[in-house]
Structure 1
Amino acid sequence: MAPQTAPARQNLPLDSDSFIGRERDLSDLLRLLDADRVVTLCGVNGIGKTRLALRVAAHATGSFPDGVWLVELTQARGRDEIIARVATAVGVAEEAGRDLEYTLRDALARRRLLLVLDGCGPVLELLADVCHRILADCPTVSLLITAEEPVRLEGEAIWRVPPLSPPPREKERDPTSSEAVRLFVDRARAASPGFTADADDLRTIADICGALDSIPYCVELVAAWVRRIPLPEIAQQLRERVQDLYSRHSGAADRARLVIEVIRWSYERLGRRERILLRRLSVFADWDLELAERVCPDGPLPEAEILDLLSSLASRALITLNGEAQGRVRYRLPSAVRRFMAHRLTEAGEEETFRLRHREQMMLIAEELSRTAVLGRAMPWAQRYSSWTRVITEYDNLREALHWSRERGDAEEGLRLCVGLCPFWVTGSHFIEGGVWNDRFLEIGGVAEALRGRAMVRRAELARAEGDHRYASEIGEAGLARCRVSGDTESLIMGQNLLAMVDVREHAYDRARERLSEVLELARKTGDLWNEAVALGTQGMLATQCGDFARADVHYSTAMMILRGMDHRWGVGAMLVGQGIAAEARGDLAAADRCYRESLDIQRDFGSAAELSRCLAGVGRVAHALGATTQAFDYLSESLLQSHTAGLRRGVAAALASIARVAASEGMVDGACRLGGAAAAIRGETGPATATRSWPLKGTAYDGDPAPLSAWWDEGYAMDVDEAASLALHITETGRVPRPRPSRVDHVKAPEETLTRREHEIARLVGAGKSNRAIAEELFITPATVARHIANINRKTGFTSRKQIAAWIDDHTLSQ
Structure 2
Amino acid sequence: MKVHPLKYERELRGWSQAKVAKAIGTTSRTVHRWEHGQGVPYPYYREKLCALFGKNTEELGLLPEKNLESMDRASSPSSLPSSSEFVQPIPSLYDPAILAAPAGESALIGRDVLLTELKQQLLAHKNWALYGLPGIGKTALAAALAADPEIQHRFHDGILWVGLGTEPNVLSLLSHWATLLGISLTHVENVSNWESWGMAVHAAIGTRCMLIVIDDAWKAEEALAFQIGGPNCAHLVTTRLPHIAVTFSGPGVVEVPQLEETDGFALLARFAPEITTQETESAYALVRSVGALPLALTLIGKYLGSQACTRQPRRLHMAITQLQDAQQRLLLSVPASLLERSPSLSPGTPLSLHATIEVSERLVSEQARFALRALSVFPAKPNSFSEALALAVTGEGTHVLDELCDAGLLECSWSDRYMLHQTIADYAKQSLTGTDAYKDVYKRWILVSVNYVETYQNDYEQLDLEVNNLLAAFDASYQLEQHQEAIRGVCAFAPFLQARGLHTVAREYLQQAYSVAKPLRDPSYIVTISSFLGEIASILGANAQAEEYLRDGLALASEHGDQVHLCRLLSSLSFLAIMRGHPAQAKAYAEEGLTIARLLGHRKPIVDLLTWLGWAAYDQQDYTLADTYYQEALPRARQINDQQALCRVLIGQGWLATALGNYAQAEAFYQEGTTIAHQLQHRFCLCLLRIGQGWLSGRQGNYAEAEAATQEALELARRMHAYELTYRSLTSLGWLAEKRGAYTEADTYYQEALILVRRHERPQLLCMVLFHLGKLRLKQQQFEAAAAFFQEMFNRVPEGDQNLIARAQSGLKQVTLIQSHQAEKRDDSPRLKADTYTQS
Q: Normalized against structure 2, the TM-score is what?
A: 0.52
Alpha-carbon separation, structure 2, partners of 1:345 and 1:183: 41
Aligned residue number for residue 767 of structure 2: 690
**8 Å Cα contact 1:676-1:713 kept in structure 2:** no
Deviation at 1:293, TM superposition (A): 3.1
Instruction: Pick from 462, 465, 468 the counterpart of residue 396 of structure 1.
Output: 468
1:494 has 2:568 as partner: yes
The one-letter code of the counterpart of 1:541 is W
1:531 has 2:618 as partner: no
Alpha-carbon separation, structure 1, partners of 2:712 and 2:336: 65
Aligned residue number for residue 365 of structure 2: 271
Deviation at 1:536, TM superposition (A): 0.8
Which structure 2 residues correspond to residues 13-28 of structure 1 after superposition, within 5 A?
24-26=108-110
Alpha-carbon separation, structure 2, partners of 1:464 and 1:650: 9
| Helix, strand or coil at the partner of 1:432 | helix
| Helix, strand or coil at the partner of 1:270 | coil
Alpha-carbon separation, structure 2, partners of 1:539 and 1:318: 57
Instruction: Pick from 289, 310, 315 the counterpart of residue 387 of structure 2.
Output: 289
Residues 372-394 of structure 1: CA deviation (Å, up to 9, x unaligned): xxxxxxxxxxxx3xx22322322
Alpha-carbon separation, structure 2, partners of 1:685 and 1:257: 56
| Helix, strand or coil at the partner of 2:416 | strand
The one-letter code of the counterpart of 1:278 is L
**8 Å Cα contact 1:453-1:480 kept in structure 2:** yes
Aligned residue number for residue 549 of structure 1: 623
Alpha-carbon separation, structure 1, partners of 2:466 and 2:213: 34
| Helix, strand or coil at the partner of 1:322 | strand
- Any unmatched runs of 5+ in structure 2? 1-100, 115-132, 167-210, 249-332, 342-347, 790-838
Aligned residue number for residue 310 of structure 1: 401
| Helix, strand or coil at the partner of 1:321 | strand
Aligned residue number for residue 320 of structure 1: 411
Deviation at 1:474, TM superposition (A): 1.8
| Helix, strand or coil at the partner of 2:454 | helix
Instruction: Pick from 477, 480, 493 the counterpart of residue 551 of structure 2.
Output: 477
The one-letter code of the counterpart of 1:558 is E
Percent identity between the two aligned chains:
18
Aligned residue number for residue 431 of structure 1: 503
Aligned residue number for residue 567 of structure 1: 641
Which structure 2 residues correspond to residues 459-470 of structure 1 after superposition, within 5 A?
459-470=533-544
Alpha-carbon separation, structure 1, partners of 2:530 and 2:456: 18
Question: 1:460/1:592 Cα in 2 relative to 1: closer, same or farther (>3 Å)?
Answer: same
**8 Å Cα contact 1:449-1:486 kept in structure 2:** no
Deviation at 1:436, TM superposition (A): 2.4
Which structure 2 residues correspond to residues 562-601 of structure 1 after superposition, within 5 A?
562-601=636-675
Deviation at 1:641, TM superposition (A): 5.4
Aligned residue number for residue 627 of structure 1: 701
**Aligned pairs, number:** 518
Instruction: Pick from 40, 44, 48 the counterpart of residue 136 of structure 2.
Output: 48
Alpha-carbon separation, structure 1, partners of 2:779 and 2:478: 65
Instruction: Pick from 404, 418, 434 the counterpart of residue 490 of structure 2.
Output: 418
Deviation at 1:360, TM superposition (A): 0.9
Deviation at 1:552, TM superposition (A): 0.9
Alpha-carbon separation, structure 1, partners of 2:488 and 2:682: 25
Deviation at 1:531, TM superposition (A): 1.4
Alpha-carbon separation, structure 2, partners of 1:277 and 1:485: 49
Aligned residue number for residue 374 of structure 2: 280
Residues 733-753 of structure 1: CA deviation (Å, up to 9, x unaligned): xxxxxxxxxxxxxxxxxxxxx
Alpha-carbon separation, structure 2, partners of 1:515 and 1:641: 32
Question: 1:191/1:562 Cα in 2 relative to 1: closer, same or farther (>3 Å)?
Answer: farther
Deviation at 1:555, TM superposition (A): 1.2
Residues 204-226 of structure 1: CA deviation (Å, up to 9, x unaligned): x99998xxxxxxxxx51598599
Alpha-carbon separation, structure 1, partners of 2:744 and 2:432: 69
The one-letter code of the counterpart of 1:366 is V
Residues 250-285 of structure 1: CA deviation (Å, up to 9, x unaligned): 887699854433433333332344344333333333
Deviation at 1:541, TM superposition (A): 1.5
Deviation at 1:523, TM superposition (A): 2.8
Aligned residue number for residue 416 of structure 2: 329
Question: 1:176/1:574 Cα in 2 relative to 1: closer, same or farther (>3 Å)?
Answer: farther
Residues 143-193 of structure 1: CA deviation (Å, up to 9, x unaligned): xxxxxxxxxxxxxxxxxx989748979999525799x99999699699899
| Helix, strand or coil at the partner of 2:372 | helix
**8 Å Cα contact 1:500-1:513 kept in structure 2:** yes
Instruction: Kindly report the root-mean-square deviation, in angstroms, between the aligned alpha carbons of the 2 structures.
Output: 5.2
Alpha-carbon separation, structure 2, partners of 1:417 and 1:600: 29
**8 Å Cα contact 2:134-2:357 kept in structure 1:** no
Alpha-carbon separation, structure 1, partners of 2:416 and 2:743: 56
Aligned residue number for residue 691 of structure 2: 617
Instruction: Pick from 355, 359, 372 the counterpart of residue 446 of structure 2.
Output: 359
- Any unmatched runs of 5+ in structure 1? 1-19, 31-44, 52-160, 210-218, 229-244, 371-383, 716-795, 797-816
Which structure 2 residues correspond to residues 768-787 of structure 1 after superposition, within 5 A?
none
| Helix, strand or coil at the partner of 2:418 | strand
Which structure 2 residues correspond to residues 188-227 of structure 1 after superposition, within 5 A?
197-198=226-227, 219-220=239-240
Deviation at 1:317, TM superposition (A): 0.9
Alpha-carbon separation, structure 1, partners of 2:535 and 2:495: 9
Deviation at 1:619, TM superposition (A): 1.7
Quick check: 664-673 or 650-659, which moved more?
Answer: 664-673
| Helix, strand or coil at the partner of 2:417 | strand
Deviation at 1:621, TM superposition (A): 2.0
Alpha-carbon separation, structure 1, partners of 2:669 and 2:243: 60
Aligned residue number for residue 449 of structure 1: 522
Quick check: 310-319 or 347-356, which moved more?
Answer: 347-356
Alpha-carbon separation, structure 2, partners of 1:624 and 1:687: 28
**8 Å Cα contact 1:501-1:538 kept in structure 2:** yes
Higher relative contact order, chain-length normalized (CA < 8 Å, sep 6+): 1
Deviation at 1:601, TM superposition (A): 3.0
The one-letter code of the counterpart of 1:48 is I
Residues 661-706 of structure 1: CA deviation (Å, up to 9, x unaligned): 44555666776567556654555456542246774898x9x9x987
Alpha-carbon separation, structure 2, partners of 1:448 and 1:647: 32
Alpha-carbon separation, structure 1, partners of 2:582 and 2:726: 28
Deviation at 1:537, TM superposition (A): 0.7
Residues 740-774 of structure 1: CA deviation (Å, up to 9, x unaligned): xxxxxxxxxxxxxxxxxxxxxxxxxxxxxxxxxxx
Deviation at 1:403, TM superposition (A): 2.0
**8 Å Cα contact 1:220-1:317 kept in structure 2:** yes
Alpha-carbon separation, structure 2, partners of 1:28 and 1:606: 43
1:440 has 2:512 as partner: yes
Question: 1:183/1:601 Cα in 2 relative to 1: closer, same or farther (>3 Å)?
Answer: farther
Alpha-carbon separation, structure 2, partners of 1:260 and 1:706: 68
Deviation at 1:466, TM superposition (A): 2.4
Alpha-carbon separation, structure 2, partners of 1:222 and 1:255: 26
Alpha-carbon separation, structure 2, partners of 1:468 and 1:655: 19
Structure exhibiting the larger radius of gyration computed from Cα positions: 2
Deviation at 1:544, TM superposition (A): 1.5
